[in-house]
């Protein structure tokens, strides 16, 4: 009789602990939902990305528009180098185009759409690839100065490391998984979307 009583008490205690555990996890999950914690830092970063990209492309455009740079980027000129022409495209057009997905990424972020993590990762990979191409072109061009190579290499390494950290965060963070769950058709101003 006493053994059965002890067993029943043990079962009740186990269920009680499980109930407390579930409620504790649910409460913790509820606190994690929403744009808080490191997501605030990510929001600040995302808000500045479109302007930084546009500013970089505009500045590079002015640099490559000078007569000296036109001489090495225009086919048919005596000093023409196709690597400088490709670098000009990367620094201007390819960078400027990235402002469009950067703005869309901000929209997905504040809508807390469930595709944000994947969209952010694809965008970050595009920026990393631009940096890789930029470094390759600069270091494979004999006429590029050492100072210019260092000016390109260091920011590219820092940018790559920074973006890899954020990619890891958005895929491993429980806050991200709990926050970015919405779909377009859940918003009244997107009635034409029926994504499920």
In the chain, where are the structural domains located? 1-32, 34-186
pLDDT above 70 covers a percentage of the chain that reads 76
Q: For residues 120 and 104, what is the distance between their CA atoms, to the nearest angstrom?
A: 10
CA angle 175, 179, 182 (to 5 degrees): 155
Q: For residues 27 and 10, what is the distance between their CA atoms, to the nearest angstrom?
A: 26
Average the pLDDT over 73-84 and give the result.
86
Q: In angstroms, how far is CA 17 from the centroid of its own chain?
A: 40
pLDDT at 68: 87
pLDDT at 75: 87
- pLDDT tops 90 at residue 45: yes
pLDDT at 73: 86
- CA distances for 182 relative to 50, 89, 168, angstroms: 24, 37, 21
Average the pLDDT over 136-154 and give the result.
88
């Amino acid at each position: 009789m006493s053994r059965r009583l002890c067993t029943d008490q043990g079962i009740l205690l186990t269920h009680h602990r499980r109930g407390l555990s579930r409620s504790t996890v649910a409460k913790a999950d509820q606190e994690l939902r929403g744009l808080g914690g490191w997501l605030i830092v990510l929001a600040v970063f995302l808000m500045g990305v479109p302007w930084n990209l546009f500013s970089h492309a505009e500045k590079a455009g002015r640099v490559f528009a000078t007569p000296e740079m036109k001489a090495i980027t225009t086919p048919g000129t005596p000093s023409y180098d196709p690597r400088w022409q490709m670098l000009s495209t990367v620094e201007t057009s390819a960078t400027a185009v990235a402002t469009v997905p950067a703005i869309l990424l901000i929209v997905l972020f504040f809508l807390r759409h469930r595709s944000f993590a994947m969209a952010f990762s694809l965008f970050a990979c595009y920026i990393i690839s631009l940096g890789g191409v930029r470094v390759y072109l600069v270091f494979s061009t004999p006429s590029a100065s050492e100072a210019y190579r260092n000016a390109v290499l260091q920011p590219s390494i820092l940018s790559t490391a920074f973006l890899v950290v954020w990619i890891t965060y958005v895929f491993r963070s429980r806050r991200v998984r709990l926050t970015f769950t919405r779909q377009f058709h859940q918003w009244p101003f997107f009635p034409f979307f029926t994504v499920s």
